């Protein structure tokens, strides 16, 4: 997944908010995924209008991450997991 990719979460999934986490149910797999607060922010930004760099900026601001820490690899890995679990398009 490159920097210009603008992932989009699937709109046909059942989503339930649980305090700071979010539960995502994939009907065809009968799979339930619980996203922690960080993954939840990434998930919520998968709206087709945010690229990886924009997601990084929002995570940095939301979690007060220092400039010297590289988040891009972690974001890409999270997006790859989302794609493998068929949570994003």
Q: What is the pLDDT of residues 38-87, one digit of tens each?
A: 999 999 999 999 999 999 999 999 999 988 899 999 999 999 999 999 99
- pLDDT band at residue 18, thresholds of 50, 70 and 90? very high
Give a yes or no: residue 55 inside a domain.
Answer: yes
**Angle, alpha carbons 66-70-71 (nearest 5°):** 95
pLDDT value of residue 55: 96
> How many domains would you assign to the chain?
1
C-alpha torsion sign, points 16, 78, 43, 56: positive
pLDDT value of residue 66: 87
Q: How far apart are CA 80 and CA 69, in angstroms?
A: 20
Q: Which of 1-10, 12-21, 36-45 has the lowest mean pLDDT?
A: 1-10
What CATH number does the domain containing 69 carry? 1.10.10
Q: How many helices (H) and strands (E) does the chain have?
A: 3, 3
**pTM check: above 0.75:** yes
pLDDT value of residue 67: 84
- Evaluate if residue 2 carries a pLDDT over 80: no
Give a yes or no: residue 9 inside a domain.
Answer: no
pLDDT value of residue 15: 97
Cβ–Cβ under 8 Å, residues 49 and 6:
yes
Structural domain including 48 reads: 14-84
């Amino acid at each position: 997944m490159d920097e210009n990719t603008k992932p989009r979460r699937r709109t046909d999934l059942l989503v339930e908010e649980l305090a700071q986490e979010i539960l995502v149910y994939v009907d065809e797999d009968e799979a339930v995924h619980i996203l922690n607060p960080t993954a939840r922010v990434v998930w919520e930004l998968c709206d087709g209008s945010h690229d990886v760099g924009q997601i990084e900026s929002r995570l940095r601001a939301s979690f007060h991450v220092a400039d010297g820490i590289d988040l891009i690899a972690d974001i890409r890995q999270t997006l790859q997991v989302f794609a493998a679990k068929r949570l994003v398009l």
